[in-house]
């Protein structure tokens, strides 16, 4: 199996889907001549030309809304936000138009569109360029929200998202682009709405997605080696629709659960996961559900302060000791 970076896996997905379907086009700031601010679209202009790889002005609301209209007219736009920090300028188009068009038209109009781009905490980019809005989008009926952690999932989920007939928010980990992993050959498609156990275990379930998979897997290794605690790591991969069944199945086995996420704690994704799990698995739980989250502050610039905001393996380990009463 070839080893690819997360960036190149995304590039492959875009290239393959654009080859497969002439209605798919990529639009955004710097996607064409500059090869993408994060080089995800490298080389696509050369292959597909400027009709299908479209540089835009800095006008997020405008090109997001234009994408919605193009999707209503039958195209399948992939709209790149240079980062999801800038997508706030477009959120009216995403929430009021893309998400609701099917419902408010009585099912007459679908909006098959992907809004994608880097998201999450970065490195020393300070408050406005380093944050997670996952729960904002996940809150909205009509949207699907996808957040892959590995190159294989990045490719397979992006292909599924482009083929989906609904608006998909595709959150790429800004710090994951250079990470490498095996990616299956051929038309590798990962269906939306399916979690995956990235590590089997029996004593505690650790739930995560996107970049939080990395500290979570490290914590699981350390727990095994240092304390003999066997942690199962479940990567939800798709935030909405959520694979509640798999989470519940894992928690029924381990009876304990810690949720790891990068976003702010209040009304975060983890809060929803806690609710979904306790409804189905309350009687199976031997400890409260705990969350490890980003700190409840705007992102500081200083490196040490910044590190203190993020989920780390040690924070995960501490939480596991609390739910296993081994502290």
Partner 1 sequence: MTQVHTNAGLDSARTDFYRQLLRQMLLIRRFEEKAGEAYALGQIGGFCHLYIGQEAVAVGAIAALRDDDYVTSSYREHGHALARGMSSRSVMAELFGKATGCSKGKGGSMHLFDAELNFFGGHGIVGGQIPIAAGAAFAVKYRGGDQVSLCFFGEAAVNIGSFHETLNMASLWKLPAIFLVENNRYGMGTALERASAVADIAERATSYDMDAEVVDGMDVLATFEAMERAVHRARTDKTPTLLDVNTYRFVGHSMSDASHGTYRTLEEVEENKKNDPIGKLCARLLDDDLVTHKDIEEIDAEIIAEVEDAVAFAESSPEPEPEELFTDVYKD
Catalytic annotation, residues: 60, 129
Which member of 15, 102, 163, 284 binds partner 1 (CB under 8 A)?
Answer: 102
C-alpha dist (Å) from residue 221 to 31, 181, 251, 258, 285: 39, 18, 19, 15, 23
The phi and psi torsions of 234 (rounded to 5 degrees) equal -105, 120
Residue 305 in 3-state DSSP? helix
User: Does 96 engage in binding with partner 1 (CB under 8 A)?
Assistant: yes
Query: Min. distance of Cβ 278 from partner 1 in angstroms?
Result: 23
Part in contact with partner 1 (CB under 8 A); list of ranges 8-16, 70-78, 246-254, 273-281: 70-78
* Strand partners for 79: 27, 115
Apex 170 CA angle, 168 and 174, nearest 5: 165
Part in contact with partner 1 (CB under 8 A); list of ranges 49-57, 169-177, 194-202, 226-234: 49-57
User: Does 74 engage in binding with partner 1 (CB under 8 A)?
Assistant: yes
Residue 245 in 3-state DSSP? helix
Give Dmax (Cα) for the chain: 60
Closest to partner 1 by CB, 27 or 320: 27
DSSP 172-194: EETTTTT-EEE--SSS----TT-
Which member of 30, 37, 66, 280 binds partner 1 (CB under 8 A)?
Answer: 66
Which member of 46, 103, 301, 314 binds partner 1 (CB under 8 A)?
Answer: 103
Closest to partner 1 by CB, 92 or 200: 92
- Of the candidates 173, 131, 121, the residue with the CA atom closest to the CA atom of residue 149: 173
User: Does 70 engage in binding with partner 1 (CB under 8 A)?
Assistant: yes
- CB distance 238 to 287 below 8 Å: no
User: Does 61 engage in binding with partner 1 (CB under 8 A)?
Assistant: yes
User: Does 63 engage in binding with partner 1 (CB under 8 A)?
Assistant: yes
Part in contact with partner 1 (CB under 8 A); list of ranges 104-112, 178-186, 221-229, 294-302: 104-112
User: Does 178 engage in binding with partner 1 (CB under 8 A)?
Assistant: no
Query: Min. distance of Cβ 48 from partner 1 in angstroms?
Result: 12
Closest to partner 1 by CB, 161 or 255: 161
- Chain position carrying tokens 């928010």: 169
Element (H, E) at 252: helix 244-254
The phi and psi torsions of 319 (rounded to 5 degrees) equal -65, -40
User: Does 304 engage in binding with partner 1 (CB under 8 A)?
Assistant: no
User: Does 64 engage in binding with partner 1 (CB under 8 A)?
Assistant: yes
- CB distance 323 to 287 below 8 Å: yes
Query: Min. distance of Cβ 296 from partner 1 in angstroms?
Result: 31
Closest to partner 1 by CB, 145 or 251: 145
Question: Distance between CA atoms of 66 and 322, rounded to whole angstroms?
Answer: 50
Which member of 57, 225, 228, 304 binds partner 1 (CB under 8 A)?
Answer: 57
* Strand partners for 144: 168
Query: Min. distance of Cβ 50 from partner 1 in angstroms?
Result: 10
- CB distance 257 to 207 below 8 Å: yes
What residues line the site for partner 1 (CB under 8 A)? 25, 51, 56-57, 59, 61-75, 92-93, 96-97, 101-110, 112, 141-142, 144, 165-166
């Amino acid at each position: 199996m070839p080893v690819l970076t997360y960036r190149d896996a995304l590039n492959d997905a875009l290239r393959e889907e654009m080859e497969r379907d002439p209605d798919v086009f990529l639009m955004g700031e710097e996607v064409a001549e500059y090869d993408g601010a994060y080089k995800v679209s490298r080389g696509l202009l050369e292959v597909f030309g400027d009709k299908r790889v479209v540089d835009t002005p800095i006008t997020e609301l405008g090109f997001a809304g234009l994408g919605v209209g193009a999707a209503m007219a039958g195209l399948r736009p992939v709209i790149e936000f240079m980062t999801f920090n800038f997508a706030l300028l477009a959120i009216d188009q995403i929430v009021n138009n893309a998400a609701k068009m099917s419902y408010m038209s009585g099912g007459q109009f679908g909006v098959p569109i992907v809004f994608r781009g880097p998201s999450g905490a970065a490195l020393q980019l300070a408050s406005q360029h380093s944050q997670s809005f996952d729960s904002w989008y996940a809150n909205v009926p009509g949207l699907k929200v996808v957040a892959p952690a590995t190159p294989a999932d990045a490719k397979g989920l992006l292909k599924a998202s482009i083929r989906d007939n609904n608006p998909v928010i595709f959150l790429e980990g800004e710090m994951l682009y250079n990470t490498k992993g095996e990616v299956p050959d051929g038309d590798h498609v990962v269906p939306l709405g399916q979690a995956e156990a990235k590590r089997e275990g029996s004593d505690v379930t650790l739930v995560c997605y996107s970049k939080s998979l990395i500290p979570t897997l490290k914590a699981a290794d350390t727990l095994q080696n240092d304390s003999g605690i066997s942690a199962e790591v479940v990567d939800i991969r798709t935030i909405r629709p959520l694979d509640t069944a798999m989470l519940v199945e894992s928690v029924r086995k381990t009876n304990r659960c810690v949720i790891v996420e990068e976003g702010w704690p209040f009304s975060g994704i983890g809060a929803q996961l806690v609710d979904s799990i306790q409804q189905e698995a309350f009687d199976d739980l031997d400890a409260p559900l705990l969350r490890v989250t980003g700190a409840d502050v705007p992102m500081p610039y200083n490196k040490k302060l910044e590190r203190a905001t993020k989920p780390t393996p040690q924070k995960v380990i501490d939480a596991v000791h609390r739910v296993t009463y081994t502290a």
